[in-house]
Amino acid sequence: MHHVAPQSRQKPEFSEARRIQQSFLAHLEKRTLIWLAAHTPEWINSDHLTLLGLLSMASAGAAYWWSSHNRFGLLLVIVCLALNWLGDSLDGTLARFRDHSRPRYGFYVDHIVDAFSAFFLLGGLALSGYMSPVVALGLLVAYLMLSVEVYLASYTVGDFKISYFKMGPTELRILLSVGNVCLLWRSTVHLFGRVQRFFDVAGSIGISGMLLVMVISAIHNTLRLYRQEPIPVGKPLPGSRQLPLVPAEGEGPLPLFTIAQTRIPRL
DSSP annotation of 131 reads: S
Residue pair 12/155 in contact (Cβ under 8 Å)? The answer is no
| Cα(137)–Cα(133) distance, integer angstroms | 6
Q: Which residues have a Cβ under 8 Å from the Cβ of 129 and sit 6 or more positions away?
A: 68
Strand partners, 194: 191
Strands (E), the chain: 18-20, 159-161, 188-191, 194-197
pTM for the structure as a whole = 0.83
| Cα(203)–Cα(143) distance, integer angstroms | 11
CATH number of 18-228: 1.20.120.1760
pLDDT values of the chain reduced to their tens digit, one per residue, 267 residues? 555 555 545 666 667 788 888 999 999 999 999 999 999 999 999 999 999 999 999 999 999 999 999 999 999 999 999 999 999 999 999 999 999 999 999 999 999 999 999 999 999 999 999 999 999 999 999 999 999 999 999 999 999 999 999 999 999 999 999 999 999 999 999 998 899 999 999 999 999 999 999 999 999 999 999 999 999 888 787 776 655 555 555 555 555 545 445 554 544
| Cα(146)–Cα(189) distance, integer angstroms | 28
| Residues counted in the chain | 267
Residue ranges of domains in the chain:
18-228, 235-267
